[in-house]
Each structure stands twice: as C-alpha cells, then as structure tokens.
Amino acid sequence: MAPPATLVRTARQLWHCQWRLLMGGLGPADDQGRYRRPAGAFTSLPPLPEDAGDPGGHVLIVGRSCPWAHRAWLTWTLRGLAATIDTVVVVPDPAAGRWRFETPFEGCQTLLDLYRRCGADPRARATVPALYSRSRGQILVSESARLIELLNAWPAAAGAPDLAPQEDVPAIATWRERLQSDVNDGVYRCGFARNQAAYDEAEAALFAALEAVEAGLTAHGESGSGWLCGGTHPSLADVVLFPTLIRLELVYAPLFGCSRRPLWQLPRLWDWRRRFHALKGVALTCFPTAWRSDYFGALFPLHPSGIVPAGPDLATLVGSPPPAAPGAPTR
C-alpha cells in the first residue's frame, strides 16, 4: 500500500531541507546555486628548492580517488621524479570527513594534523595533493595547478618530456583555463548544483568544452599529432584533462549527471584517452575500484544509500576501437 500523499510531500520537504544543509557542508554555492570551489592553503607557486635534486628530500602526498592529486601524480610519473620525490598515499576517512595516513607521517595521523603543524589557517581544508619538504618540515604547495608547474620544472630523469615547452605555453595556458573551469570543475558544478538552472549551465559548458577538445584533436590529428597542443608528447593541458576523462563513465556520468553523450561518440577524444593511458606508468596511477567506492560511498548528500553500483571495466574504456556494447559490470 502506497503511503499517504501528505506524508510523501512532508518527507520530500524535510529531505530537501536536509539535503541543502548537507550540500552546504559538501561544497559552497553562490546565490544562484552554482557550486564554487573553496580556497585552500599553500596555494602560491614557490621557487624551485635548492635541494630539489636530493634523493628523498621531498614527498608528494596523494590520494587515489582525488582527480586533483591524480594530475600531480601523473606529472611526477611522466617526468620520472621517483629518484628525488617520494610518494605517500593518504586514504579517506568518511566518518571524520578527512584524509588520514595509513602509517604515521612526520608524527601526524591525518593530513589535517600535518597542515596545522605546517601553519595552515585552522579554517582551511586539508587537501591533496601536497608537496612536503623534509629538510624544511613544511608543505611547499598544495594547489594542484601550481604544483604541476613546479614538478615540471623539477630536475627530471634523462629523456623525460618537458610538459610545457616554451613555444606551446600560450596554447597550454588557454586550454588549461578552459578545462579547469568547464571540465575539471565543471563535473563538480554539475554534481553539486543546487538547482536545475545551475546544473543546466554547468552541463552545457562541460559538453561544449569536450566538443571543442574533439575539434582540436581532429585538427592536430590531420597534421600528424594527437595531443592537445600538437607536438610529439603530451603537455600539462593533456595532464589536467586525463583525470576527469578517465573517471567520466565510472563516476561522473552516473553520480554527477554528466551523461549527455558517451565518450565513444567523440572518437578523437576516446582515442586520446586510450593513448594517454598507455603512456609508461600512467596505468599504475589509476585505481577504478577506489574511485567508485570513495565517490559513491562518501558523498552522502548525492548518494544516501552508500551502495556502490556496478560499472564498466576500465579495460573497456581504454580499448580501441570504442566498444559496440557496454563492458562487463564490475565493482
């Protein structure tokens, strides 16, 4: 027997009020209901440390599920920085709403402990990625956009590509600005929108940007290059796009409503994702099970049940050509 209509209306009104309250804690919005990413700590680009070349002198702190950390991890990988920068992986603690170290790091149990010890504003969020200097006992930078620039300037392994060659800097900057707004933040502006108008605006901008990338890749493909800014190897523009695109079908389409077009309908972009994933070391930075469990399990206002639904196997998303049918479901 169906519940009385008045009970349904009351329950919906109460849940909507609770949802707005919970969303306020998840991510702030402006007066039009548009999600606005809050400012973090350690956001300025520091100079290259004098001891940048010292083995193990610095630590890159990352989380497996965070796309902002993923872009730093990718830059670290492509530049071959393992000899001079160690990595430490933090894991989410959904009950406490923070990142924690699997084993104590510099005497700290959580990333928030480390941020506070390094002098962060007590109101600031403790986020990944973060680059920590062992000699200074200090977080140098945690803003991912600035961190990848610093890592690209770091003394790299022999033969490692420059991800921001001087001749491509203007094009890289143009792409990064649009991708940051409409794609990287764009999926969150879809998922965290407070109303239909805010969602519609963000969703339209997201797919317009993806179609612009498809057009750009088509133009470069005709000239013999398959990367966003041309050339024989990816740039920082490609680096910032990949973490969002590799999570699209696994997380952002089902959870954030970014499902207007499956990526296989943008064949150049599909092939770009496949080729980027095939770069040396990139697959080792991808953790689809963690992505899905952390997003679906932790974002309670968007997915109250906490049930992690089945999704496509990552292998079907980085294959070529695009699949004719969905891949086998997996957790």
At 260-296, the pLDDT tens digits run 999 999 999 999 999 999 999 999 999 999 999 999 9
Predicted pLDDT at 296: 93
146 contact partners, CB below 8 Å, separation of at least 6: 43, 44, 45
Q: Are residues 186 and 287 in the same domain?
A: yes
Under the banding of pLDDT at 50, 70 and 90, the label for residue 321 is low
Last residue of a domain, one of 127, 153, 179: 153
Structure tokens at 259: 């499902």
What CA–CA distances, in Å, run from 215 to 1, 48, 265?
54, 36, 13
Instruction: Summarize the confidence of residues 219-246 as an average pLDDT.
Output: 88
Instruction: Indicate if the pLDDT at residue 1 is higher than 80.
Output: no
Whether residue 221 is contained in a domain is answered as: yes
CA atoms within 13 A on the CB side of 22: 14
Q: Are residues 302 and 176 in the same domain?
A: yes
pLDDT tens, residue by residue, 72-111: 999 999 999 999 999 999 999 987 789 999 999 999 999 9
CATH of the domain at 64: 3.40.30.10
Among 19-33, 112-126, 158-172, name the one with the lowest average pLDDT: 19-33
Predicted pLDDT at 299: 83
Under the banding of pLDDT at 50, 70 and 90, the label for residue 328 is very low
Q: Are residues 144 and 175 in the same domain?
A: no
CATH of the domain at 222: 1.20.1050.10
Last residue of a domain, one of 153, 182, 215: 153
Whole-angstrom distance, CA of residue 243 vs CA of residue 122: 29
Cβ atoms 131, 147 nearer than 8 A: yes
Q: Are residues 118 and 233 in the same domain?
A: no
Q: Are residues 108 and 179 in the same domain?
A: no
Predicted pLDDT at 122: 84
Among 10-19, 106-115, 201-210, 247-256, name the one with the lowest average pLDDT: 10-19
Crossing angle between the packed helical segments 236-246 and 67-78, to the nearest 10 degrees: 130
Q: Are residues 260 and 127 in the same domain?
A: no
Domains identified in the chain, total number: 2
- Whole-model pTM? 0.92
Whether residue 243 is contained in a domain is answered as: yes
Q: Are residues 318 and 277 in the same domain?
A: yes
Question: What is the end-to-end Cα distance of the chain in Å, rounded?
Answer: 34
Under the banding of pLDDT at 50, 70 and 90, the label for residue 258 is very high
Last residue of a domain, one of 153, 183, 214: 153
Q: Which domain holds residue 82?
A: 58-153
Predicted pLDDT at 97: 81
**Pick from 94, 70, 62: which is nearest to 308 by CA?**
94
